[in-house]
Amino acid sequence: MSNTTTTTTAAGHQGLHWSSRWAFIMAATGSAVGLGNIWKFPYITGENGGGAFVLVYLACIAVVGLPILIAEVMLGRKGRKSPIASMRELIREHNANAGWVSIGTLGTIAAFLILSFYSVIGGWAINYVGYTISGDFVGQTSDAVGGIFGAMLGDPSTLLFWHSVFMACVLFIVARGVKGGLEKAVTYLMPALFVLMVVMVVYAMTTSGFAQGVNFLFNPDFSKLTGEGVLKALGHAFFTLSLGTGVMMAYGSYLDQKTSIAKTSITVGLMDTVVALVAGMAIFPIVFANGMEPSAGPGLIFVSLPMAFGSMSMGTLIGTLFFVLLVFAALTSAISLLEPSVEWLEERSGFNRMTATLVAGGAVWFLGIATVLSLNVWSDVHPLGMFAAFEGKTIFDLLDYITANIMLPLAGLLAALYVGWVMKKEDVAAELNMSNGAMTLFWNITRYVTPLAVIIVMYKSIMG
Ligand code: TRP
Determine the average pLDDT of the residues in 166-189.
79
**Ligand 1 atom at minimal distance to the Cα of residue 272:** 4
The residue whose C-alpha atom lies closest to atom 7 belonging to ligand 1 is 333
Handedness of CA 300, 132, 331, 267 (dihedral sign): negative
Percentage of the chain modeled with pLDDT above 70: 94
Q: Are the beta carbons of 108 and 245 closer than 8 angstroms?
A: yes
With a 6 Å cutoff on the Cβ, whether 371 touches ligand 1 is: no
pLDDT at 168: 97
Q: Could you tell me the pLDDT band of residue 313, with boundaries at 50, 70 and 90?
A: confident
Give Cβ neighbours of residue 96 (< 8 Å, ≥ 6 apart).
90, 418, 422
- Reported as a single tens digit per residue, the pLDDT across 74-86 is 999 998 887 888 8
pLDDT at 18: 62
Residue 71 has pLDDT above 70, yes or no: yes
pLDDT at 425: 94
Which residues does residue 6 pair with via DSSP β-bridges, in sequence order?
16
With a 6 Å cutoff on the Cβ, whether 32 touches ligand 1 is: yes
- Reported as a single tens digit per residue, the pLDDT across 378-396 is 999 999 988 888 889 999 9
pLDDT at 254: 81
- The C-alpha atoms of residue 176 and residue 169 are separated, in whole angstroms, by 11
Rounded to the nearest angstrom, the distance between the alpha carbon of 47 and the centre of ligand 1 is: 20
Q: Could you tell me the pLDDT band of residue 5, with boundaries at 50, 70 and 90?
A: very low
- Reported as a single tens digit per residue, the pLDDT across 404-430 is 999 999 999 999 999 999 999 999 999
With a 6 Å cutoff on the Cβ, whether 125 touches ligand 1 is: no
pLDDT at 80: 83
Rounded to the nearest angstrom, the distance between the alpha carbon of 31 and the centre of ligand 1 is: 6
Mutate to test the pocket of ligand 1, among 61, 113, 328, 336 (most ligand atoms within 8 A of CB): 336
Residue 7 has pLDDT above 60, yes or no: no
Give ∠ CA 114-225-111 in degrees, rounded to 5. Answer: 10
Q: For all residues of the chain together, what is the average pLDDT?
A: 91
Rounded to the nearest angstrom, the distance between the alpha carbon of 245 and the centre of ligand 1 is: 9
With a 6 Å cutoff on the Cβ, whether 196 touches ligand 1 is: no
Rounded to the nearest angstrom, the distance between the alpha carbon of 114 and the centre of ligand 1 is: 8
With a 6 Å cutoff on the Cβ, whether 35 touches ligand 1 is: yes
Which residues does residue 228 pair with via DSSP β-bridges, in sequence order?
none
- The C-alpha atoms of residue 217 and residue 215 are separated, in whole angstroms, by 5
Q: Could you tell me the pLDDT band of residue 8, with boundaries at 50, 70 and 90?
A: very low
